[in-house]
């Protein structure tokens, strides 16, 4: 682990990530984020330097070994795009029997999460500053995730930007490959049009089974803490949709 990578803008994200032999063209085209550095507090900057060695995992090309990362064997929960990480810190602290891995590209948010992780003395949380598409393609072993959570992925509301939405059939195929049999995919969004698109993509994915009655949306599950982005939507009067699917058993 290298604290220098993460403490500097835009590094620690792309390290070793440009080998065209490793990334398949199908998912490489999804560019679901714009790299905005935003304002970083002194405390967040300090956290990126001082706490990275404790909680951080450098992105690269080597396959991840969750048992080595966490120093134990336990169910693995992946949160993609955790923002400021408040929800992730809450989930990890209230579910100590599971291992939590967070992926995010926004460094101030990562710094915020590292501070929370330190304050809560979390031992079951690891963080990567990296594009989830690249980590899943290059480093995540198949058949290893018990849960994937994607709360309020960037909605990209304009039609010409829909190609930037993270939840597309090629990305879902990648997630399916990484989920264990019975593993769950939980997505929440307050963009109605995106919610319907996600629901129809997942309902059309034969390896996934909708856990909601009538193949629709799920009532808000108790284990999902409110997120910062969600609370902004509440103030604007947006309705939230939860979507929960499980990976069907693999046929040997």
Stretch that binds ligand SAM, among 14-22, 89-97, 111-119, 150-158 (CB under 6 A): 150-158
Q: Is 221 helix (H, G, I), strand (E, B) or coil?
A: coil
Asked if residue 89 lies in contact with residue 116, where contact means CB atoms within 8 angstroms, the answer is yes
| DSSP state for residue 71 in the 8-state scheme | T
152 near ligand SAM, judged by CB under 6 A: yes
Asked if residue 195 lies in contact with residue 157, where contact means CB atoms within 8 angstroms, the answer is no
Which residues, numbered 209-238, are part of the site for ligand SAM (CB under 6 A)? 227-230
154 near ligand SAM, judged by CB under 6 A: yes
Listed residue (110, 109, 89) closest to 100, CA to CA: 89
Select from 106, 112, 165, 247 the one that contacts ligand SAM (CB under 6 A): 106
58 near ligand SAM, judged by CB under 6 A: no
> Is 154 considered catalytic here?
yes
Using the minimum distance from each CB to ligand SAM, give the nearer residue, 12 or 153.
Answer: 153
171 near ligand SAM, judged by CB under 6 A: no
Report the residue closest to ligand SAM, judged by CB.
81
Q: What is the largest CA-CA distance in the chain?
A: 52
Cβ atoms within 10 Å, residue 192: 13
* Number of residues in the chain: 252
* Tokens 């939860």 belong to residue: 242
Using the minimum distance from each CB to ligand SAM, give the nearer residue, 56 or 153.
Answer: 153
Using the minimum distance from each CB to ligand SAM, give the nearer residue, 151 or 245.
Answer: 151
Site string for ligand SAM, 65-104 (x = CB under 6 A): ---------------xxxx-------------------xx
- Active-site hit among 154, 190, 193, 242: 154
Which residues, numbered 123-142, are part of the site for ligand SAM (CB under 6 A)? 131-133
Q: 111 to each of 32, 39, 79, 84, how far by Cα in Å?
A: 21, 11, 16, 8
Using the minimum distance from each CB to ligand SAM, give the nearer residue, 137 or 230.
Answer: 230
Listed residue (135, 13, 141, 157) closest to 80, CA to CA: 135
CA–CA separation, 87 and 99 (whole Å): 15
Q: Is 246 helix (H, G, I), strand (E, B) or coil?
A: strand
> Which residue ranges make up the site for ligand SAM (CB under 6 A)?
32-33, 80-83, 103-106, 109, 131-133, 151-154, 166, 227-230
Catalytic amino acids?
154
């Amino acid at each position: 682990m290298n604290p220098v990578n993460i403490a500097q803008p835009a590094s620690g994200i792309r390290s070793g990530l440009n080998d065209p032999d490793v990334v398949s063209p199908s998912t490489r085209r999804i560019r679901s984020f714009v790299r905005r550095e935003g304002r970083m507090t002194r405390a967040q900057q300090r956290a990126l330097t001082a706490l990275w060695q404790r909680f951080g995992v450098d992105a690269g090309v080597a396959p991840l070994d969750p048992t080595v990362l966490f120093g134990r064997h336990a169910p693995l929960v992946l949160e993609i795009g955790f923002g400021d990480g408040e929800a992730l810190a809450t989930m990890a602290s209230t579910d100590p029997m599971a291992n939590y891995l967070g992926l995010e590209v926004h460094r101030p948010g990562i710094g915020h999460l590292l501070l929370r992780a330190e304050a809560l003395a979390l031992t079951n949380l690891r963080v990567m500053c990296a594009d989830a598409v690249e980590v899943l393609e290059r480093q995540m072993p198949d058949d290893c995730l018990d849960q994937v959570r994607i709360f309020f992925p960037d909605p990209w509301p304009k039609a010409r930007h829909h190609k930037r939405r993270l939840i597309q059939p090629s990305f879902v195929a990648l997630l399916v490959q990484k989920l264990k049999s019975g593993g769950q995919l939980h997505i929440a969004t307050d963009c109605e049009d995106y919610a319907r698109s996600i629901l129809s993509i997942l309902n059309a994915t034969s390896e996934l089974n909708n856990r909601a009655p009538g193949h629709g949306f799920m009532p808000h599950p108790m284990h999902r803490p409110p997120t910062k982005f969600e609370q902004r939507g509440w103030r604007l009067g947006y309705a939230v949709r939860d979507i929960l699917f499980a990976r069907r058993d693999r046929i040997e």
